[in-house]
Amino acid sequence: MKKKELEKKLKKLGWWFKDHGGSHDIWTNGEGIETVPRHNEIHEITARSILRNAEKGRPKRGG
């Protein structure tokens, strides 16, 4: 999946870009974080996992 497509889907779920990490971008919904690899193409399994966590509201805590 293209990174831009994943970011667009995260925005639709109410997430927004927070900060750059070492090799990942950090996204938040105000309650938790999700890390998104900084690659043009993100492996489909990784993208689905990020979106599944974001949809269920089970983000990693922190940030």
Q: Please state which CATH class domain 3-56 belongs to.
A: alpha beta
Quick: pLDDT tens for 6-36.
999 999 999 999 999 899 999 999 988 999 9
First to last CA, the chain: 25
- Supply the pTM of this predicted model: 0.86
Share of the chain above pLDDT 90, in %: 79
Confidence of residue 56 (pLDDT cuts 50, 70, 90): confident
